């Protein structure tokens, strides 16, 4: 069985990077730098979503299914700097050569990780293998949009049509899973500024589990799993987070039961 690695990242604006890239004067404090950058984006695009290379990674969470094992956690520790978080993620790819699964990972998570890895000088050899070192990667690498080593569920389910894309929260809830709990991506920056990085990491983990659960439904859809095998995968995930016993998993299970019966 090929290991499966479902992942998600959370980011905040890279104020130091904005200052450096735009050669802004030292007299501007961080709040003024960010306000300037967001106003500039609004003039350019009508919104304040920064370019991906100006997103600083503060959390990466993963669910790893390997053999009989299922693990879900955030990589590293809250004290780890961005380069260490990114290095740990790509080390997982190097170690396991997994099937990568994400929700909008092709449109956001992986481009952010690639830009930030380049900025910090992080090595990601297996991820960037075009087939030079492994012939199996020549026609199925992590880099090709229509290759399957990385499966962006949002992109695939929409048949690569942006106007058909659905959000993870809605799709998870429609499938009877919990969906997002208490936070979304727009709240991450404020939470980090307020000292709530642990809350962000926990939120990221629940997004990963929602993605994992929807992925199991997708495997059932395409006939990769039988109904019995699907039920076993779902039970395994429930049992694993129940055994962890952390408060966010208790909340997740309660929301799962409520949504499934609603």
pLDDT tens-place string over residues 131-141? 888 888 989 99
Domain hosting residue 124, numbered range = 4-261
**Bigger pLDDT: 261 vs 147:** 147
- The confidence score (pLDDT) of residue 262 equals 58
Indicate the pLDDT class of residue 1, thresholds 50, 70 and 90: confident
Place of tokens 């290759």: 147
- The confidence score (pLDDT) of residue 98 equals 98
State the Cα–Cα distance between residues 170 and 128, nearest whole angstrom.
32
Indicate the pLDDT class of residue 185, thresholds 50, 70 and 90: confident
State the Cα–Cα distance between residues 152 and 157, nearest whole angstrom.
9
**CATH number of the CATH domain containing 31:** 3.30.420.10
Q: Are strands 99-102 and 4-13 parallel, antiparallel or unpaired?
A: parallel
- The confidence score (pLDDT) of residue 260 equals 74
Domain count, the chain: 1
- The confidence score (pLDDT) of residue 135 equals 87
What integer is the mean pLDDT of 208-212? 98
Q: Is the pLDDT of residue 247 over 80?
A: yes
Contact 51, 193 (CB under 8 A): no
% of the chain with per-residue pLDDT over 90: 89
Average pLDDT, the chain: 95
% of the chain with per-residue pLDDT over 70: 99
Q: 12: closest CA among 167, 197, 208, 182?
A: 197
What integer is the mean pLDDT of 202-207? 96
- The confidence score (pLDDT) of residue 140 equals 93
Instruction: Note the pLDDT tens digit of each residue in 18-63.
Output: 999 999 998 899 999 999 999 999 999 999 999 999 999 999 999 9
Q: What six digits make up the tokens of 1?
A: 């069985």
Q: Is the pLDDT of residue 245 over 90?
A: no
Q: Are strands 99-102 and 69-74 parallel, antiparallel or unpaired?
A: unpaired
Indicate the pLDDT class of residue 261, thresholds 50, 70 and 90: low
């Amino acid at each position: 069985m090929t290991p499966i690695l479902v992942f998600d990242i959370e980011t905040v604006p890279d104020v130091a990077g904005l200052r450096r890239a735009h050669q802004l004067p030292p007299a501007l404090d961080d709040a003024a730098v960010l306000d300037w950058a967001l106003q500039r984006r609004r003039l350019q695009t009508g919104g304040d979503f920064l370019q991906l290379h100006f997103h600083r990674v503060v959390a990466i969470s993963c669910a790893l299914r390997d053999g009989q094992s299922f693990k879900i956690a955030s990589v590293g520790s809250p004290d780890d700097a961005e380069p260490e978080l990114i290095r740990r993620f790509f080390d997982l790819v190097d170690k396991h050569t997994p099937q990568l699964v994400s929700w909008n990972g092709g449109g956001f998570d992986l481009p952010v990780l690639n830009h930030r890895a380049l900025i910090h000088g992080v090595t990601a050899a297996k991820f960037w293998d075009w087939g030079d070192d492994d012939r199996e990667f020549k026609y199925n690498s992590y880099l090709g949009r229509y290759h399957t080593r990385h499966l962006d569920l949002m992109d695939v389910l929409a048949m690569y049509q942006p106007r058909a894309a659905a959000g993870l929260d809605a799709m998870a809830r429609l499938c009877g899973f919990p969906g997002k709990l208490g936070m979304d991506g727009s709240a991450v920056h404020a939470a980090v500024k307020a000292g709530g990085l642990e809350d962000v990491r926990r939120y990221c983990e629940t997004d990963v589990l929602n993605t994992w659960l929807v992925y199991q439904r997708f495997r059932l859809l395409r006939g990769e799993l039988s109904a019995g095998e699907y039920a076993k995968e779902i039970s395994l995930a429930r049992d694993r987070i129940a055994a962890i016993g952390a408060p966010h998993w208790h909340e997740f299970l309660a929301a799962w039961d409520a949504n499934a019966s609603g």
